[in-house]
Amino acid sequence: MELQVNDWISLKTLEPLDDEALFLETDKSRNHLRKWLPWLDGIQNVSDSRQFIEYSIQLHDQRKAMIFGIFADGQLAGTISFNQIDWQNRIGHIGYWLSSTYTGQGIMTEAVRRLVNYGFDDLALNRMEIRCATENNKSRHIPERLGFTEEGQVREGEWLYDHFVDHAIYGMLSRDWADK
């Protein structure tokens, strides 16, 4: 499955053949990503990336999650996903990361915009939710730029290697997105 974002950015479901590119982007951005993402120690080689891709395909087939690679000019730049889809309540929980090579170019804002459009228009979801560490300003700027509402905070909402971080919760409703 592929979602076109613009002339040079697309979101594509990851395939096993993406394992090496995914590992290389993860590995070269390890220091950049480690401050905010708890799963990096579990990705030590291409095989780990392949297992993640295979697991993401299973989740997609089970309609529990949807994980896409973000491709910029045909190169894998990061991932974006509905980490969880709550079908009963029609909520998509969005997560994302971008390789350090591709930050600062507006890629993630446009990728999130496209995923939100897909969730509301094609999946008939009613709500999108994004959680970010309260001190992760770059990640927080994305929902803020897109008009999400900061709805509160979760104290010590995530364990990052040796400490807890608080999370800001951002929400967007379908009816509010339609007004944008």
CATH number at residue 104: 3.40.630.30
On whether residue 7 sits in a domain, the answer given is yes
pLDDT, tens digit, 9 for 90 and up, residues 67-82: 999 999 999 999 999 9
Q: Is 94 exposed, middle or buried (0-12, 13-18, 19+ CB in 10 A)?
A: buried
Asked whether residue 164 is domain-assigned, the answer is no
* Residue 58 located in a structural domain: yes
The answer to whether residue 116 is domain-embedded is yes
Alpha carbon dihedral 27, 100, 157, 94, in 10-degree steps, equals -100
Q: What is the pLDDT of residues 138-177, one digit of tens each?
A: 999 999 999 999 999 999 999 999 999 999 999 999 999 9
Give the residue numbers spanning the domain of 17. Answer: 2-128
- Residue 16 maps to a domain: yes
Is residue 176 in some structural domain? no
The pLDDT mean for the chain works out to: 95
Name the amino acid, one letter, at 38.
P
Phi, then psi, of 19 in degrees rounded to 5: -60, -45
Token pair belonging to 168 = 């800001």
- Cα-atom radius of gyration of the chain, to the nearest Å? 16
Query: Is residue 56 in a domain?
Result: yes
pLDDT category at 180 given cuts 50, 70, 90 is: low
Domains: count for the chain: 1
Whole-structure pTM value: 0.94
Nearest to 96 by CA among 141, 61, 62, 64: 141
